[in-house]
Structure 1
Amino acid sequence: MDLNVPGLDELDYQILEILIKDSRIPYLEIARNCHVSGGTIHVRMNKMQEMGLIKGARLILDTSKLGYDVCCFIGIYLNKASSYPDVLEQLKEIKEIVELHYTTGAYSIFVKVMCKSISNLQDLLMNRLQVISGVQSTDTFITLSQPIDRNISF
C-alpha cells in the first residue's frame, strides 16, 4: 500500500478500501473491521472530507432500467482553444452529458453521453451539440458493453 499522501496512514487506507467496496457501510461496521471505535472512524472521515479526498457519496443507477439504453463517448473538435469556456457553458445544459473531460490529443473535449435511443442520440448530435458555436466537428463511439466499472483500489 502506498502511504505517500501527507496526512493519511494505514487506517485511512483501510477505511477507504472498505468504502470503495460499499460506500453505504455504517461507521460502526467499519470500526469493527478496523478494530477501532466508531468515533475514530467519524474523526477520520471528517479529516478526509476536509482534505477534499472524499467529495461525497453517489447513487449509482442502472440507467438501462430507466430507459437510457445508449451509452456513447463523443470526441469534440473545437475551432480554437479559446472557444472552450463558451462551449463548456453550453455543454453543461445538455442533460444527456454525464461526464466531460478537457483533454490533450485528438479531441479538445471528450464527453460521455447517456441517451434513451439512437434517435435521441441523433437529435443530440445534430440539433444540440454540433450547432454550438465553436464546435468544429465530432466523433461518436457507441458503447457495446462495459465489462469493467470500478474505482481505484489500494
Structure 2
Amino acid sequence: MSKRRLDELDQKIVEVLAEDARTSNRKIAAELGVTEGTVRGRIKRMEDEGQIRITAVTNIDHLRNPTLAYIWIEVDSAAEVKAVAQALADTPQIGFVAVTLGRFDILAITLVQNNGQLADFLNTKVSVIPGVRRTECSLGVTFVKHDYRMSKILG
C-alpha cells in the first residue's frame, strides 16, 4: 500500500485535533466549511492508514516533581544500534527513542521523580540491554516550553 500524503483539508483537521483532540466532528466541519461526514471519513482514513493517532497525553505541569531525563546511549557496534533502539522503544517508561548521529548512537527520554529513581532505572532497565556500552544523562530541570506534540512539521 502506497503512503498517501495529507492534503490541505487533512492538515487543517489535524491542526484542530492537535489543539484539542476532543473537538467534535461537527465543530471541525463548521470551522472548515465541510460536512461532518467528510471530517469523520477523513479522520477514520488517517487513523486506519496510521497517519494519525488520537491519544491522551499526561500534562507534566501537573506532576509533583517531574524531571525530564535525556539518556544518551553508546552502543557496542553499529550492527546492534537498531536492536538496542527497539529494546528501548519497547520499555514502557521511555516515551521517546531516536537513533542519532554524533557522539552517541541513541537518545531516549523518560520522566523521573528523583536521581535515585533514575539510577535504578538505568541499572535495571537500560544498562542490561545487550549491546549497551555506556550511558550518559542530562536532566531537564526547568521547563521553558513543553509542547507534547514535540514540534510542528514545517510545510
> TM-score, normalising length from structure 1?
0.79
2:130 corresponding residue in structure 1: 133
Residues 147 and 75 of structure 1: CA distance in aligned 2, closer, same or farther (over 3 Å): same
Contact 1:91 1:97 (8 Å CA) reproduced: yes
In the alignment, does 2:26 pair up with 1:31? no
SS at structure 2 position matched to 1:100: strand
1:144 corresponding residue in structure 2: 141
Contact 1:97 1:112 (8 Å CA) reproduced: yes
Contact 2:85 2:98 (8 Å CA) reproduced: no
Pairwise CA distance, 1:8: 4.0
Gap runs ≥5 in structure 1: none
Pairwise CA distance, 1:24: 1.1
Contact 1:79 1:135 (8 Å CA) reproduced: yes
Contact 1:71 1:143 (8 Å CA) reproduced: yes
2:66 corresponding residue in structure 1: 69
1:114 corresponding residue in structure 2: 111
> TM-score, normalising length from structure 2?
0.79
Larger gyration radius, structure 1 or structure 2: 1
Q: Deviations over 1:4-55 (max 9, x none)?
A: x96544322321221121111000010111122111111222332344321x
Identity %: 26
SS at structure 2 position matched to 1:43: helix
1:20 corresponding residue in structure 2: 18
How do 1:87-126 and structure 2 match up within 5 A? Answer: 87-88=84-85, 90-92=87-89, 94-126=91-123
